[in-house]
Structure 1
Amino acid sequence: MAITLTPVALERVQRFVEQTPGTLGLRFGVTRTGCSGWGHVADLAREQRDGDTVFEYQGVRIYVDADSLALVDGTEIDFARQGLGETFLFKNPNATAECGCGESFTTAVDAA
């Protein structure tokens, strides 16, 4: 099991963590959303919660809740500029389909 970050995403997360007092690392998971079912969620982790699995990637701790773990295992997190904004991008090997706008995804388990 693992979550990885591209070099640019790693740098961005390190900067967020360093600039935000009380931050432990990155919180990563999914939430029910959109037309396909699941949406990725990335935020700063300020506490370790019961059931969290904690990955460490090149000095950055990544906290994943138990309900999200099977859906995000193996995901590579990237960071990119898109138009005038910036966003995290997710290469999730568990996603078997995405909605047209790319905001949500479906897994093989959802399709069954």
Structure 2
Amino acid sequence: MTDQIQLTEAAAKRVAAIANRQGKAPILRLSVDGGGCAGFSYKFELGDLEEGDATAETAGVKLVVDPISLELVQGSAVDFVEDLGGSAFKVTNPNAASGCGCGSSFSV
């Protein structure tokens, strides 16, 4: 694991299950897009490792972040949570000054 980004065991397990079901490599790409109710939004997709990506690995599953997005999420941890509201990947981002109620967007 790197100190730039982290992938929890719960998130790794969920990514592995999704990747297996779709016949893809267990690589979760986290990126940041402009927009969302707080300014920036997180985007998750199964992807490939690209040159320059920051990488964290847990239980054989990789979390990758491009260099531009890394500036906004460095030091973050990606978890998978299940509660009464449903299930989702959750980013704990120490760089976020504020976020929205749904947890999918943030501002710095």
Using structure 1 for the length normalisation, give the TM-score: 0.77
Residues 24 and 82 of structure 1: is their aligned pair in 2 closer, same or farther, counting only changes over 3 Å?
closer
1:76 aligns to what?
A: 77
Structure 1's unaligned 5+ residue stretches are: 108-112
Q: Quote the offset at 1:7 in angstroms.
A: 2.3
Larger radius of gyration: 1
Q: Could you tell me which runs of 5 or more consecutive residues in structure 2 were left unpaired when the two chains were aligned.
A: none
Q: Give the whole-Å Cα distance in 2 for the aligned partners of 1:100 and 1:54.
A: 28
User: 1:84: how far off?
Assistant: 5.7
Give per-residue Cα distances to partners, 1:6-62, cap 9 Å, x unaligned. 2221211122223322325111121112232111111111x3334433332332112
How many aligned positions are there? 106
Match of 2:27 in 1: 25
Report the Cα distance in structure 1 between the residues aligned to 2:44 and 2:33, rounded to whole angstroms: 10
Partner of 1:110: none
Task: Give the counterpart letter for 2:89 in structure 1.
Answer: F
Partner of 2:105: 104
Alpha-carbon separation, structure 2, partners of 1:29 and 1:67: 8
**Is 2:41–2:106's contact at 8 Å kept on the other side of the alignment?**
yes
Q: TM-score, normalised by structure 2?
A: 0.79
The whole-number CA distance in structure 2 between the counterparts of 1:27 and 1:70 is 15
Shift of 1:66: 1.7
Output aligned runs, 1:35-74, within 5 Å: 35-45=37-47, 47-74=48-75
Matched-pair identity in %: 37
